[in-house]
Structure 1
Amino acid sequence: MLFPVYWMVNVSLTRTGDMRADPPHWFPWNPTFEGYAAALGQQLPALATSLFIGLGTVAVTLIVALPAGYALAKLLPRGTGAIDFLLLVAQMIPAVVMAMGFYAIYIRLGMLNTVAGLIVADSTLAVPFAVLLFRAFMAGIPREIMAAAQIDGAGTWRTFRSVVLPLSRNSVITVSLFAFLWAWSDFIFASTLNRSSDTIPVTLGIFRYIGNNTTQWNSIMATAVIASVPAAFLLVLAQRYIAAGVTAGAVKD
């Protein structure tokens, strides 16, 4: 499983003239950093765009999914079962099908080739998962805690903001991480909805390295290594919160 990661690093340090060596160089005996120089010189705007899209997707996902999960878990509106079913179905729709639908809508709204359009599209992948996870977690919050807040005069919104949100930290971190990673690694929406824009995410930046006659493999792999660092860092940093968040609601006392 780790070999492709190693090979990515190896190729990122390999000189262009050694790419087609036979047998291949299993180690970068004569390393070069020209790929990293090209990546940092050409791909920083794309990395910044991906970062902005990822953070925007996290914000939209939390704004939509947190109240929705709370309502389904504690307020129990009519049609809760049907809503749960629709959320499950929404996660089964292939991204390429959704991309075609977004393309038709964005043409009419003038949102093609915009960062905001990508944030909205990427959020559609994260919101159903987030709502279901928040609902599972919040359903396990004892009603006695909420009843105590209501006795103290807290309304529905105050109870949600002051009691439920602090207790939902692990699930919020889990959802935020997955939403960011989905947006950070997205290629289908980016290539369909933002292909002719000058402001592109890093996935399209890597794709544009591939030319008709030449392929800058060390630059491609160097960009991939740089783009992997934030994801790896976040996964390591949030590991214990993820373990708690993904099992939220799995066991009832």
Structure 2
Amino acid sequence: MPATQKTLRTALLTAVGLFCTVIMIFPLYWVIASSLKNTVELFRTPPTLFPMQIDWTPYIANFIQNQDMLHYMGNSLQIALGTMLLSLVLAAPIAYALARLPIRGKNVFLFIFLVAQMFPSIMLALPLFVMFTRIGLVNSQLAVILAVTTRTLPFAALILRPFFLTLPRELEDAAFIDGCTLWSAFYRIILPLSRPGMLTVAALTFLMGWSDFLFPLTLISDDTKRPLTLGLYKFISEYGSRWNDLMAVSVVAAIPIILVFIFAQKYITSGLVAGAVKE
């Protein structure tokens, strides 16, 4: 390929990539810009691309004067961390067993995990509500953690299994020779070597727990126990929406998600790639 043609192609692909990036980032920018506009400017026609006068009132009102949103964020953090820990504790042994042990019907279990991810959460909400009502777990964060884990567990197991398959069996054989049992070899040898995969699952399940809306809506009625996803609905009523407050809280709610991706990006990428090498 001639150098001129190659340069033109590179420039064209770069322009297309930049255009797609702008299209994807623009909604996030619009949320941030709208949170800094006053009510008059927010409904101005035509809309302004940049805030003419920055207004910090929504942030001050919702996070300093009234700290309800901080309480909701604390509840969301507990649910997200609980979902992450429970998913890791359950998914790691399941994935390891499916990767290493000679289990009959192993493909059936994998098929069930795949099918379980296809069911919408709304199909699980009512049965879980009935079950948790009978055992007295309704209106608790534990109920939400267990409910969200029903969605994250199949996903986590399917992510970790191919990653365990990439580890050589000789590592466990050497551990058995040194006197390790299957469980001690798993916890002492396999898990430390599986850190990228574990961090990948930890980050993704944390985000699933942080952003879930349906299960908290179904299982929690006490306002003091609601997560931020439900707290946002305080700004939406039948008479209108308080867009300034809604946008400001949405910006703050997105910060943990952005931080997780910034600090775990390397592990997420390497974990997903490593898990895709061998099946």
TM-score (norm 2): 0.87
> Corresponding residue for 1:126?
152
Cα distance in 2 for partners of 1:176, 1:70 equals 16
Cα distance in 2 for partners of 1:120, 1:193 equals 11
SS in 2 for 1:23: coil
> Corresponding residue for 1:190?
216
Match of 2:48 among 14, 21, 25: 25
> Corresponding residue for 1:221?
247
> Corresponding residue for 1:80?
106
1:203 pairs with 2:226: no
> Corresponding residue for 2:78?
52
Deviations 1:25-49 (A, max 9, x none): 2211111111111231330000000
Point out the more displaced range, 210-219 or 145-154: 210-219
**Overall identity of the aligned pairs, in %:** 39
Higher RCO (Cα < 8 Å, 6 or more apart)? 1
Deviations 1:180-234 (A, max 9, x none): 1011111111112114442110010111211222421111111110010111011
What letter matches 1:75 in structure 2?
Answer: L
Deviation (angstroms), 1:106? 1.9
> Corresponding residue for 1:171?
197
1:115 pairs with 2:157: no
Cα distance in 1 for partners of 2:255, 2:62 equals 14
Match of 1:4 among 23, 27, 41: 27
Alpha-carbon contact 2:140-2:220 (below 8 Å) kept: yes
SS in 2 for 1:208: helix
Alpha-carbon contact 1:133-1:248 (below 8 Å) kept: no
What letter matches 1:124 in structure 2?
Answer: T
Deviation (angstroms), 1:19? 2.2
| Structure 1 unaligned blocks of 5 or more | none
Aligned positions of 1:222-241 closer than 5 A: 222-241=248-267
| Structure 2 unaligned blocks of 5 or more | 1-23
Cα distance in 1 for partners of 2:238, 2:276 equals 51
SS in 1 for 2:275: coil
> Corresponding residue for 2:17?
none
Cα distance in 1 for partners of 2:138, 2:234 equals 19
Deviation (angstroms), 1:102? 1.3
What letter matches 1:156 in structure 2?
Answer: L
Cα distance in 1 for partners of 2:74, 2:278 equals 42
What letter matches 1:224 in structure 2?
Answer: S
Match of 1:38 among 58, 61, 71: 61
What letter matches 2:32 in structure 1?
Answer: V
What letter matches 1:174 in structure 2?
Answer: T
Cα distance in 2 for partners of 1:133, 1:219 equals 38
CA root-mean-square deviation: 1.4
SS in 2 for 1:2: helix
What letter matches 1:210 in structure 2?
Answer: I
Cα distance in 1 for partners of 2:138, 2:60 equals 31
Cα distance in 1 for partners of 2:124, 2:145 equals 14
Point out the more displaced range, 165-174 or 210-219: 210-219
> Corresponding residue for 1:90?
116
Aligned residues: 253
What letter matches 2:31 in structure 1?
Answer: M
Larger radius of gyration: 2
SS in 1 for 2:129: helix
> Corresponding residue for 2:14?
none
Deviations 1:71-96 (A, max 9, x none): 11112322211111111111011011
